[in-house]
Amino acid sequence: MDFIDQLRALTEKIPDLIRDIKTEEATKSGLVMPFIKALGYDVFNPSEVVPEFTADIGERKGEKVDYAILKNGQPIMLFECKLCGSELDAKSAIQLQRYFQSIPEVKFGILTDGIHYKFFSDLDRVNVMDSKPFFEVDLLNLEDAMIEELRRFSKPAFDAKDILSTAGELKYTREIQALFRTEFSAPSWDFVKLLTTSVYDGRFTKKVHERFMPIVKRAFRQFINERINETLEAAKTLQQALAGTEGETDKTEDAKAEEQVGIVTTVEELQGYYIVKAILSGTVELSRVVMRDVKSYCGILLDDNRLKPICRLHFNNPARKYIELFDIGKTGEKHPIEQLDDIYQYADRLKKTVENYASA
């Protein structure tokens, strides 16, 4: 099974597992070790995964962190585990902070109860673990963007520099989104004042605040809803245009509808698809280049055949987009792109992939 399949298999078992988990050790063996295994690390190989890893802190000797993940003999990640269902608050992270500081080569500390995972680094001060995580995952509420971000911690994809390059953006984006959610549900005095004084000439008083609070709240909600509707309309228009140019497959309409449950094809994915078609113009009949969107990526296939992948567009994570290209053995390799036009950089690879299928 690949990474996504293993992760999904674990998440499906969790509701049954947690009924019998009563101790921290059971949390480790039943939930955390399978998670580490899903990331591609051999939990039974002490050169990759070391339980009870020694993390001496000053004069305090024999301190142990629950798990250390090693690469080339050096620890790259530390796991501190708590009993399933425990609150992973600042107090719970103190122990992990001490371990993190005692092992300078480590850049990632993970605090978990087997279901929730909080990823920390030292973005604010070198070798001092941040007080807030830059990434959080709830295995019972996995989103596609979370899966793609988790994949970067897997053994085949792990690159500390690459992860750190976007960790800061992830952290602050998450915190700003949290502020937006708070302001959306209950606008603060300062937020109401900021907007009100931009449109109201009078003095901002408590009475004015009470008057404008519901107005700001309603305007905020209407603005968000309008943006959502605009995006959906744009996607609908493009999908209709796409439906008019693509040949029909042999699937029934009911089967097609069933496959699309829970899948939203974004405008960017459609634009990326059209760029790939433009690149392949003259290489292959364009009616043979078909888009098949799934929850974790947008696939572009030759002849609508999943055994003939041309590329995959991984656009679910707004902080980092990738195009996945395939070699002659159909092994995928992801490349980061900053903007959609960057796809043209891989024109030769895309053409070569299609030519390989034609000659096979």
Boundary (domain end) residue, out of 174, 199, 218? 174
For residues 34 and 130, state if they share a domain.
yes
Boundary (domain end) residue, out of 118, 149, 174? 174
Whether the CB-CB separation of 310 and 354 falls below 8 Å is answered with yes
Residue with tokens 């600042």: 90
Asked whether residue 219 is domain-assigned, the answer is no
Asked whether residue 204 is domain-assigned, the answer is no
Which H or E run contains 211?
Answer: helix 206-245
Q: pLDDT, tens digit, for every residue of 248-289? A: 444 455 554 445 555 778 888 888 898 898 889 888 888 899
For residues 145 and 56, state if they share a domain.
yes
Boundary (domain end) residue, out of 140, 174, 208? 174
Parallel, antiparallel or unpaired: strands 108-112 and 332-337: unpaired
Domain of 128, in residue numbers: 3-174
Asked whether residue 80 is domain-assigned, the answer is yes
For residues 129 and 278, state if they share a domain.
no
For residues 36 and 132, state if they share a domain.
yes
CATH of the domain at 78: 3.90.1570
For residues 258 and 114, state if they share a domain.
no
Residue with tokens 């070790």: 33
Range list of H helices, 246-315: 253-259, 267-280
Number of domain units in the chain: 2
Whether the CB-CB separation of 92 and 82 falls below 8 Å is answered with yes
Taking each helix axis as running N to C, give the angle between helix 3-17 and helix 144-151, from 0 to 180 degrees, rounded to the nearest 10: 110
For residues 50 and 156, state if they share a domain.
yes
Would you state the structure tokens that stand for residue 225, as one six-digit string?
């809803």
Backbone angles phi, psi at 84, to 5 degrees: -55, 125
Asked whether residue 329 is domain-assigned, the answer is yes
Whether the CB-CB separation of 29 and 73 falls below 8 Å is answered with no
DSSP state of 31: I
Would you state the structure tokens that stand for residue 159, as one six-digit string?
């690159």
For residues 39 and 134, state if they share a domain.
yes
What is the chain's pLDDT, residue by residue, as a tens digit (360 residues)? Answer: 678 888 888 998 898 888 889 999 999 999 999 999 999 999 999 999 999 988 765 555 667 889 999 999 899 999 999 999 888 988 888 889 988 988 888 999 999 999 999 999 998 888 899 998 999 999 988 887 788 889 889 999 899 888 888 887 777 887 887 888 888 888 899 999 999 999 998 999 999 999 999 998 888 888 877 777 776 676 666 666 666 555 444 445 555 444 555 577 888 888 889 889 888 988 888 889 999 988 889 999 999 888 899 999 999 887 789 999 998 888 889 999 988 888 988 999 999 999 988 877
Asked whether residue 38 is domain-assigned, the answer is yes
Q: Give dist(CA 317, CA 297) in Å, integer.
A: 10
Asked whether residue 149 is domain-assigned, the answer is yes
Asked whether residue 81 is domain-assigned, the answer is yes
Q: pLDDT, tens digit, for every residue of 296-347? A: 899 999 998 888 999 999 998 877 899 999 988 888 899 999 888 889 889 9
Cα–Cα distances (Å) from 345 to 274, 279, 286, 289, 351, in that order, read 15, 10, 20, 19, 12
Cβ atoms < 10 Å from Cβ of 305: 13
Would you state the structure tokens that stand for residue 349, as one six-digit string?
């690879």
Q: Give dist(CA 141, CA 156) in Å, integer.
A: 24
Residue with tokens 């708070």: 182
For residues 16 and 145, state if they share a domain.
yes
For residues 148 and 261, state if they share a domain.
no
> Residue 94: helix, strand or coil by DSSP?
helix
Q: Give dist(CA 166, CA 168) in Å, integer.
A: 6
pTM for the model stands at 0.57
Which H or E run contains 37?
Answer: helix 33-38
For residues 167 and 272, state if they share a domain.
no
Q: Give dist(CA 346, CA 360) in Å, integer.
A: 21
> Residue 68: helix, strand or coil by DSSP?
strand
Cα–Cα distances (Å) from 19 to 15, 16, 26, 51, 117, in that order, read 7, 6, 11, 24, 19
Asked whether residue 31 is domain-assigned, the answer is yes
**Distance between start and end Cα atoms, the chain:** 26
- pLDDT at 231 (0 to 100): 67
For residues 292 and 167, state if they share a domain.
no
